[in-house]
Amino acid sequence: MTTNWAGNLTYRAARVVEPSDETELSRILDRAREDDATVRVLGSRHSFNDIADTDGVIVSLAGLARSGAVDVAPDRTSVRIPAGIRYGDLVPVLEREGLALANLASLPHISVAGAVQTGTHGSGDRVGALGTQVAAVELLTAAGERATLERGDEDFPGAVVGLGALGIVTHLHLDVLPHYTVAQTVYEGVRWDDALGRFDELTGAGDSVSLFTRWVDPDVIDQVWVKARATSRPDDLSAFGARAADGPRHPIPGIDPTPCTTQLGVRGPWYDRLPHFRLAFTPSAGEELQSEYLVARTEAVAAIEAVRGLADRIAPLLLTCEVRTMAADDLWLSPAYDRPTVGIHFTWHRDEEAVRALLPAIEAALPASTRPHWGKVFTMPGDEIRGRYPRFDDFAALRTRLDPDRRFVGDYLARLGL
């Protein structure tokens, strides 16, 4: 039976299928209607909860990704891609065309549709989550009909971060830019008191800034990763007591940094600097769990202080914690909807029982603006999450219109009241 990427979840579906084209996909949906079976969709399986699980049919997008083509628009401002393609596999196509994306997640191993549909993000004060790059979404609905929602359509902001609830995403249209370069530098020695006292200055030190800590010492940030484009120059962090690392670093101190993208301020192509890890290697620590909580930027300092106050309980279960920023967007179920946002991401040892026992304390300590990442481990009740999204009822109504028979509603979505 298929497991998720971390191996902490075994999918319980009666069937796991991998269609090679849309004709085969349509037949799968026809049979699901005949069997009255629920359908959920897998991308790269990089979710740590049961968002893609069902006792019915699970559809893997990997076959469609292998058989699909990447088409560059005539004006070269967008590309049409198969939804299941991984970012790392899309990059070589864009590179050959001299094109780029404005942002990438820290892992190139994840599928584009899976990342977009769950509100996944990269980093940057002025950069939106990955879904903000989407110009159009192509769906196969439960009725077997093809639907395309484009930027500017009334329902488009509800379809981008769609949790797989509206239909099977077959293709996405992404905005692209001309190729650009980025330099990445890792700093050490920054203290939390200095960082929180001048948080905007620190996160604005480059186009993308990540703060990594294990919370072993609640006063010190282990590493600050700063990524800067050629058109910008990273700020000098000496005022924070920072010193540039004397060699490559892994976000988890003590681990071989070979899997990580090039550092030490060496300028290189966007795709080899924006992610933390390279596609050819096992990302992060391999066996792990992940949780992430996204808070309004106005409450970021209070949120970090709340986590800092739990450092002695967090550290024994933690591999590393990453703090990143993102710009506000208008996507209904995006964790950055209608507000600049700060993500507090936890990479845990794979001890799910202990992690789940700790999460309620973290969730209770965080501000009321907190929204958990849709694809990570959390314990917050569905009705509480629903109340933190002003457009959730609009999304529920869109789900009803596109899937009146609840064909795509598994247990995860049911817990959210969909």
pLDDT digits (tens, 9 = 90+) for 235-265: 678 889 999 999 999 999 888 999 999 999 9
Q: Which of the 8 DSSP states describes residue 104?
A: -
pLDDT (0 to 100) of residue 232: 57
Our measurement of the distance from residue 217's CA atom to the centroid of its chain's CA atoms, rounded to an integer in Å, reads 27
pLDDT (0 to 100) of residue 350: 93
Please give the CATH number for the structural domain made up of 64-179.
3.30.465.10
CA-angle at 250, arms to 247 and 251, nearest 5° = 125
Q: Is the pLDDT of residue 155 over 80?
A: yes
The mean pLDDT value of the chain amounts to: 94
Report the SS3 class of residue 398.
helix
How large is the average pLDDT for residues 166-191?
96
pLDDT tier for residue 147 given thresholds of 50, 70 and 90: very high
- CA–CA distance, 51 with 410 (Å, rounded to integer): 8
Report the SS3 class of residue 279.
coil
Q: Please state the φ and ψ torsions of residue 199, each to the nearest 5 degrees.
A: -60, -45
Between 2-11, 57-66, 190-199, the lowest mean confidence (pLDDT) is in 2-11
Give pTM, 2 decimals.
0.95
How large is the average pLDDT for residues 124-151?
96
Strand order in the sheet with 15-17: 15-17, 57-60, 39-42
Among the listed residues 398, 364, 401, the one whose alpha carbon sits nearest the alpha carbon of residue 379? 364
Q: Which of the 8 DSSP states describes residue 224?
A: E
- Sorted by sequence, the CB contacts under 8 Å of residue 37 that are 6+ apart come out as 14, 31, 54, 56, 57
Our measurement of the distance from residue 243's CA atom to the centroid of its chain's CA atoms, rounded to an integer in Å, reads 30
> What are the domain boundaries of the chain?
15-62, 64-179, 181-383
Among the listed residues 196, 197, 235, 234, the one whose alpha carbon sits nearest the alpha carbon of residue 323? 196
Answer left, alpha or beta for residue 362, where phi above 0 means left and psi between -120 and 50 means alpha: alpha
Answer left, alpha or beta for residue 163, where phi above 0 means left and psi between -120 and 50 means alpha: left
- CA–CA distance, 401 with 134 (Å, rounded to integer): 22
Q: Which pair of structure tokens corresponds to residue 377?
A: 């481990």
pLDDT (0 to 100) of residue 323: 98
Tens digit of each residue's pLDDT (9 = 90 or more) over 194-208: 999 999 999 999 999
Tens digit of each residue's pLDDT (9 = 90 or more) over 314-343: 999 999 999 999 999 999 999 999 999 999
pLDDT (0 to 100) of residue 285: 54
pLDDT (0 to 100) of residue 293: 98
Q: Judge whether 214 and 318 are in contact, CB under 8 Å.
A: yes
How large is the average pLDDT for residues 377-394?
97
Q: Is the pLDDT of residue 231 over 80?
A: no
Instruction: Quickly count: other Cβ atoms within 10 Å of residue 30's Cβ.
Output: 11
pLDDT tier for residue 2 given thresholds of 50, 70 and 90: confident
Our measurement of the distance from residue 213's CA atom to the centroid of its chain's CA atoms, rounded to an integer in Å, reads 20
pLDDT (0 to 100) of residue 238: 85
How large is the average pLDDT for residues 24-51?
93
Tens digit of each residue's pLDDT (9 = 90 or more) over 264-315: 999 999 999 999 988 777 665 567 999 999 999 999 999 999 999 999 999 9
Written as one string, the DSSP assignment of 144-207 is: S-EEEEETTSTTHHHHTT-TT-SSEEEEEEEE-EE--EEEEEEEE--BHHHHHHTHHHHHTSSS
Q: Judge whether 171 and 138 are in contact, CB under 8 Å.
A: yes
Pairing label, strands 177-178, 99-100: antiparallel
Q: Is the pLDDT of residue 1 over 60?
A: no
pLDDT (0 to 100) of residue 318: 97
How large is the average pLDDT for residues 56-74?
92
Determine the topology of domain 181-383 in CATH.
Alpha-Beta Plaits (3.30.70)
